């Protein structure tokens, strides 16, 4: 599965808009949109924030990390 899809699934699992998810991670909503469409990938700081988001909600982060590392 692509990283863009995994990020979208993560956001939707918690019933968040791209704007809400972006605020949680400290990025612009346009950034989340680019991640989800595959036009951009999260940088290391964003990945740390995604990891924290997952840990706070007891959501498995490993698949997202593995997909990020595989590119």
- State yes or no: pLDDT of 1 exceeds 90: no
Please state the pTM of the whole predicted model.
0.94
Query: How much is the pLDDT for 71?
Result: 78
For residues 24 and 49, give the distance between their C-alpha atoms in angstroms, rounded to a whole number. Answer: 8
Domains annotated for the chain, with CATH where assigned, are: 3-69 (1.10.260.40)
Average pLDDT over residues 10-26: 98
Query: How much is the pLDDT for 43?
Result: 97
- Please, are residues 41 and 35 in contact by the beta-carbon 8 Å criterion? yes
Work out the mean pLDDT of the chain and round it to a whole number.
Answer: 97
Query: How much is the pLDDT for 46?
Result: 98
What is the 8-class DSSP label of residue 2? -
Tens of pLDDT, residue by residue over 33-65, are 999 999 999 999 999 999 999 999 999 999 999
């Amino acid at each position: 599965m692509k990283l863009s899809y995994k990020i979208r699934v993560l956001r939707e699992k918690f019933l968040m808009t791209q704007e809400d998810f972006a605020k949680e991670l400290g990025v612009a909503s346009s950034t989340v949109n680019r991640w989800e469409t595959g036009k951009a990938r999260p940088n290391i700081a964003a990945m740390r924030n995604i990891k924290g988001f997952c840990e706070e909600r007891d959501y498995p982060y490993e698949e997202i990390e593995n997909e990020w590392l595989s590119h």
